[in-house]
Amino acid sequence: MRSMASGVAKLCAGLVLFLVLTPSFAQDVCNLPAAISLPAVRSPDYVNKDKPTDYMALVLSWSPQHCEAQRNQPEEVKRKHAHQCFSENRLEWVVHGLWPQNAKASSNKDHPRHCNASDALPSDLLKQHLCMMPGVDLMQNEWQAHGTCGWSTAPAYFADIRKVYGALKRPNTQDMVGSGHGPNRLIDSTAGKVKASFLALNPSLTADQIRVNVASGNRLKEIWLCLDKTLKPAACPAGGTPDQQTISVRTPQR
Protein backbone atom coordinates (compact mmCIF):
# COMPACT_ATOMS: atom_id res chain seq x y z
CA MET A 1 0.00 0.00 0.00
CA ARG A 2 3.04 2.26 -0.43
CA SER A 3 1.48 4.09 -3.38
CA MET A 4 -2.21 4.79 -3.81
CA ALA A 5 -2.13 7.05 -6.86
CA SER A 6 -3.86 4.58 -9.15
CA GLY A 7 -6.56 3.88 -6.58
CA VAL A 8 -7.27 7.55 -6.07
CA ALA A 9 -7.45 8.14 -9.82
CA LYS A 10 -10.09 5.43 -10.09
CA LEU A 11 -11.96 6.84 -7.10
CA CYS A 12 -12.07 10.35 -8.53
CA ALA A 13 -13.16 9.06 -11.93
CA GLY A 14 -15.96 7.16 -10.25
CA LEU A 15 -16.99 10.03 -8.05
CA VAL A 16 -17.32 12.29 -11.07
CA LEU A 17 -20.00 9.91 -12.28
CA PHE A 18 -21.94 9.44 -9.06
CA LEU A 19 -21.64 12.82 -7.31
CA VAL A 20 -24.29 15.28 -8.48
CA LEU A 21 -23.34 18.94 -8.80
CA THR A 22 -25.70 21.04 -6.68
CA PRO A 23 -25.68 24.50 -5.09
CA SER A 24 -26.66 22.90 -1.78
CA PHE A 25 -23.26 22.10 -0.27
CA ALA A 26 -21.32 23.41 2.70
CA GLN A 27 -20.62 27.14 2.38
CA ASP A 28 -17.40 27.36 4.34
CA VAL A 29 -15.39 30.53 4.87
CA CYS A 30 -11.68 30.03 5.53
CA ASN A 31 -8.85 32.55 5.58
CA LEU A 32 -5.31 31.46 6.35
CA PRO A 33 -3.57 33.10 9.31
CA ALA A 34 -0.74 35.54 8.59
CA ALA A 35 1.80 33.23 10.22
CA ILE A 36 1.80 29.48 10.77
CA SER A 37 3.80 27.92 13.59
CA LEU A 38 5.38 24.57 12.88
CA PRO A 39 3.86 21.78 14.97
CA ALA A 40 5.88 19.78 17.44
CA VAL A 41 6.63 16.16 16.64
CA ARG A 42 4.41 14.14 18.94
CA SER A 43 5.46 11.16 21.03
CA PRO A 44 3.57 8.02 19.96
CA ASP A 45 0.84 6.91 22.33
CA TYR A 46 1.24 3.37 20.99
CA VAL A 47 2.76 1.68 17.96
CA ASN A 48 1.05 -0.93 15.79
CA LYS A 49 3.28 -1.54 12.79
CA ASP A 50 2.09 -5.05 12.03
CA LYS A 51 -1.69 -4.70 12.18
CA PRO A 52 -3.22 -5.33 8.74
CA THR A 53 -5.25 -2.66 6.96
CA ASP A 54 -8.62 -3.98 5.79
CA TYR A 55 -10.35 -0.70 4.92
CA MET A 56 -9.98 3.07 5.23
CA ALA A 57 -12.11 5.64 7.03
CA LEU A 58 -12.24 9.26 5.89
CA VAL A 59 -13.41 10.94 9.10
CA LEU A 60 -15.16 14.31 8.82
CA SER A 61 -15.73 16.33 11.98
CA TRP A 62 -18.79 18.58 12.44
CA SER A 63 -16.87 21.74 13.27
CA PRO A 64 -19.64 23.66 15.17
CA GLN A 65 -19.81 20.92 17.80
CA HIS A 66 -16.04 20.58 18.06
CA CYS A 67 -15.65 24.32 18.53
CA GLU A 68 -18.35 24.55 21.19
CA ALA A 69 -16.41 21.95 23.19
CA GLN A 70 -13.32 24.21 23.10
CA ARG A 71 -14.99 27.33 24.51
CA ASN A 72 -14.28 26.57 28.15
CA GLN A 73 -10.86 25.04 27.65
CA PRO A 74 -7.68 26.71 28.99
CA GLU A 75 -6.20 29.42 26.80
CA GLU A 76 -3.30 27.18 25.76
CA VAL A 77 -5.76 24.66 24.34
CA LYS A 78 -7.93 27.33 22.73
CA ARG A 79 -4.92 28.73 20.89
CA LYS A 80 -4.42 25.38 19.18
CA HIS A 81 -7.96 25.62 17.82
CA ALA A 82 -7.94 29.35 17.05
CA HIS A 83 -7.89 28.99 13.26
CA GLN A 84 -10.87 26.63 13.28
CA CYS A 85 -12.92 28.06 16.13
CA PHE A 86 -11.90 31.55 17.27
CA SER A 87 -11.39 33.52 14.06
CA GLU A 88 -13.62 34.97 11.35
CA ASN A 89 -13.69 31.59 9.64
CA ARG A 90 -16.92 29.63 9.31
CA LEU A 91 -16.33 25.91 8.91
CA GLU A 92 -18.78 23.04 8.88
CA TRP A 93 -17.54 19.61 7.70
CA VAL A 94 -13.75 19.45 8.05
CA VAL A 95 -11.34 16.54 7.84
CA HIS A 96 -10.27 14.85 11.04
CA GLY A 97 -8.20 12.26 9.24
CA LEU A 98 -7.90 9.33 6.86
CA TRP A 99 -7.38 6.18 8.87
CA PRO A 100 -6.13 2.73 7.84
CA GLN A 101 -8.38 0.39 9.83
CA ASN A 102 -8.31 -3.24 10.93
CA ALA A 103 -11.74 -4.86 10.52
CA LYS A 104 -11.07 -7.29 13.38
CA ALA A 105 -10.16 -4.59 15.91
CA SER A 106 -11.89 -4.89 19.27
CA SER A 107 -10.66 -1.47 20.48
CA ASN A 108 -8.99 1.67 19.14
CA LYS A 109 -5.61 0.16 20.02
CA ASP A 110 -6.03 -2.68 17.52
CA HIS A 111 -5.68 -0.51 14.41
CA PRO A 112 -2.47 0.35 12.51
CA ARG A 113 -0.82 3.33 14.20
CA HIS A 114 2.53 5.15 14.24
CA CYS A 115 4.06 2.81 11.70
CA ASN A 116 7.09 5.00 10.94
CA ALA A 117 8.91 7.93 12.52
CA SER A 118 8.32 11.41 11.11
CA ASP A 119 9.68 14.94 11.27
CA ALA A 120 7.58 18.08 11.72
CA LEU A 121 5.44 18.96 8.70
CA PRO A 122 6.75 21.90 6.63
CA SER A 123 4.91 25.22 6.56
CA ASP A 124 4.11 25.11 2.83
CA LEU A 125 2.33 21.77 3.22
CA LEU A 126 0.42 23.04 6.26
CA LYS A 127 -0.76 26.15 4.39
CA GLN A 128 -1.87 24.10 1.42
CA HIS A 129 -4.28 21.98 3.45
CA LEU A 130 -5.11 24.04 6.57
CA CYS A 131 -8.63 24.96 5.44
CA MET A 132 -9.42 21.28 4.87
CA MET A 133 -7.84 20.02 8.10
CA PRO A 134 -7.86 23.17 10.27
CA GLY A 135 -5.09 22.72 12.80
CA VAL A 136 -1.32 22.29 12.51
CA ASP A 137 -1.22 19.97 15.54
CA LEU A 138 -4.10 17.98 14.09
CA MET A 139 -2.31 17.61 10.77
CA GLN A 140 0.90 16.54 12.49
CA ASN A 141 -0.86 13.96 14.60
CA GLU A 142 -2.89 12.51 11.72
CA TRP A 143 0.19 12.12 9.55
CA GLN A 144 2.24 10.52 12.33
CA ALA A 145 -0.46 8.26 13.72
CA HIS A 146 -2.29 7.23 10.53
CA GLY A 147 -0.59 8.51 7.40
CA THR A 148 2.68 6.71 8.09
CA CYS A 149 0.77 3.42 8.03
CA GLY A 150 -0.20 3.70 4.37
CA TRP A 151 1.78 6.43 2.63
CA SER A 152 5.49 6.91 2.08
CA THR A 153 5.35 10.73 2.25
CA ALA A 154 3.20 13.36 3.95
CA PRO A 155 2.44 15.23 0.68
CA ALA A 156 1.04 12.02 -0.81
CA TYR A 157 -1.15 11.44 2.26
CA PHE A 158 -2.68 14.90 2.27
CA ALA A 159 -3.06 14.94 -1.50
CA ASP A 160 -5.10 11.74 -1.35
CA ILE A 161 -7.27 13.17 1.43
CA ARG A 162 -7.90 16.30 -0.63
CA LYS A 163 -8.92 14.29 -3.69
CA VAL A 164 -11.48 12.24 -1.76
CA TYR A 165 -12.71 15.15 0.38
CA GLY A 166 -12.95 17.45 -2.63
CA ALA A 167 -15.01 14.95 -4.62
CA LEU A 168 -17.51 14.39 -1.80
CA LYS A 169 -20.45 16.84 -1.74
CA ARG A 170 -21.02 17.82 1.88
CA PRO A 171 -24.41 18.91 3.26
CA ASN A 172 -24.58 22.22 5.11
CA THR A 173 -26.63 23.07 8.19
CA GLN A 174 -29.73 23.89 6.18
CA ASP A 175 -29.54 20.58 4.33
CA MET A 176 -29.53 18.69 7.63
CA VAL A 177 -31.97 20.64 9.83
CA GLY A 178 -33.69 23.20 7.60
CA SER A 179 -33.54 26.99 7.64
CA GLY A 180 -34.55 29.61 10.20
CA HIS A 181 -32.32 28.49 13.08
CA GLY A 182 -30.15 30.93 14.99
CA PRO A 183 -26.41 30.56 15.64
CA ASN A 184 -25.03 28.01 18.10
CA ARG A 185 -28.33 26.20 18.65
CA LEU A 186 -28.95 22.49 19.14
CA ILE A 187 -31.56 21.24 16.67
CA ASP A 188 -33.13 17.80 17.02
CA SER A 189 -32.68 15.39 14.15
CA THR A 190 -31.81 11.73 13.70
CA ALA A 191 -28.65 9.96 12.61
CA GLY A 192 -30.60 8.66 9.63
CA LYS A 193 -31.51 12.18 8.49
CA VAL A 194 -27.86 13.27 8.63
CA LYS A 195 -26.88 10.23 6.60
CA ALA A 196 -29.71 10.88 4.15
CA SER A 197 -28.46 14.43 3.57
CA PHE A 198 -25.13 13.01 2.34
CA LEU A 199 -26.87 10.44 0.16
CA ALA A 200 -29.08 13.11 -1.42
CA LEU A 201 -26.00 14.97 -2.64
CA ASN A 202 -24.06 11.81 -3.50
CA PRO A 203 -26.74 9.45 -4.83
CA SER A 204 -24.43 6.63 -5.85
CA LEU A 205 -23.15 6.22 -2.31
CA THR A 206 -25.08 3.69 -0.24
CA ALA A 207 -26.23 4.03 3.34
CA ASP A 208 -23.86 1.33 4.58
CA GLN A 209 -20.84 3.34 3.35
CA ILE A 210 -21.52 6.20 5.80
CA ARG A 211 -21.37 6.00 9.58
CA VAL A 212 -22.65 8.71 11.92
CA ASN A 213 -20.97 9.14 15.33
CA VAL A 214 -22.09 11.33 18.21
CA ALA A 215 -20.46 13.07 21.17
CA SER A 216 -21.86 13.23 24.71
CA GLY A 217 -25.52 14.12 24.84
CA ASN A 218 -26.07 12.48 21.43
CA ARG A 219 -24.66 15.56 19.69
CA LEU A 220 -23.50 15.15 16.11
CA LYS A 221 -19.72 14.68 16.20
CA GLU A 222 -18.55 13.19 12.90
CA ILE A 223 -19.24 10.96 9.94
CA TRP A 224 -17.11 8.25 8.42
CA LEU A 225 -16.95 7.60 4.71
CA CYS A 226 -15.65 4.06 4.50
CA LEU A 227 -13.31 3.14 1.65
CA ASP A 228 -11.48 0.07 0.48
CA LYS A 229 -7.69 0.00 0.25
CA THR A 230 -7.78 1.58 -3.22
CA LEU A 231 -9.90 4.41 -1.76
CA LYS A 232 -13.14 3.40 -3.44
CA PRO A 233 -16.33 3.67 -1.31
CA ALA A 234 -17.00 0.47 0.62
CA ALA A 235 -19.34 -0.81 3.30
CA CYS A 236 -18.49 0.16 6.86
CA PRO A 237 -18.19 -2.52 9.53
CA ALA A 238 -21.04 -2.66 12.02
CA GLY A 239 -21.11 0.25 14.44
CA GLY A 240 -21.91 3.91 14.67
CA THR A 241 -25.15 5.57 15.73
CA PRO A 242 -28.37 3.78 14.68
CA ASP A 243 -30.36 5.61 12.01
CA GLN A 244 -33.41 5.95 14.25
CA GLN A 245 -31.45 7.50 17.12
CA THR A 246 -32.47 11.08 17.97
CA ILE A 247 -29.43 13.35 17.90
CA SER A 248 -28.76 17.08 18.24
CA VAL A 249 -27.08 19.05 15.45
CA ARG A 250 -25.33 22.24 16.56
CA THR A 251 -25.66 25.19 14.21
CA PRO A 252 -22.58 27.31 13.41
CA GLN A 253 -21.63 30.06 15.86
CA ARG A 254 -22.03 32.74 13.18
Per the annotation, the verdict on 83 as an active-site residue is no
The residue from 96, 111, 114, 129 that is catalytic is: 96
**b/e 148-172 (16+ beta carbons within 10 angstroms → b):** bbbbeebbbbbbbbbbbbebbbbbb
Residue 64, CA distances (Å) to 13, 107, 150, 173 in order: 31, 27, 30, 10
CA 179/CA 29 separation, integer angstroms: 19
Does residue 142 carry a catalytic annotation?
Answer: yes
Q: Which of 83, 111, 114, 142 is catalytic?
A: 142
pLDDT confidence of residue 254: 77
SS3 of residue 247 by DSSP: strand
**Which H or E run includes 93?**
strand 93-101
Please, what sign has the CA dihedral across residues 211, 29, 125, 13? Answer: positive
* Residues found in the chain: 254
Provide the terminal-to-terminal Cα distance of the chain, rounded to the nearest Å: 42
pLDDT at residue 139, as a whole number:
98
Cα angle value 215/58/141 (rounded, 5°): 80
Per-residue pLDDT of the chain (254 residues; tens, 9 = 90+): 544 444 544 444 444 333 333 334 446 899 999 889 899 998 999 999 999 999 999 999 999 999 999 999 999 999 999 999 999 999 999 999 999 999 999 888 899 999 999 999 999 999 999 999 999 999 999 999 999 999 999 999 999 999 999 999 999 999 999 999 999 999 999 999 999 999 999 999 999 999 999 999 999 999 999 999 999 999 999 999 999 999 999 999 87
Pairing mode, strands 219-227 and 186-190: unpaired
Structural contact between residues 251 and 187, judged by C-beta atoms closer than 8 angstroms: yes
Contacts of 197 by beta carbon, 8 Å cutoff, 6+ apart: 171, 175, 176
> Which pTM value belongs to this model?
0.89
What is the model's pLDDT at position 206? 98
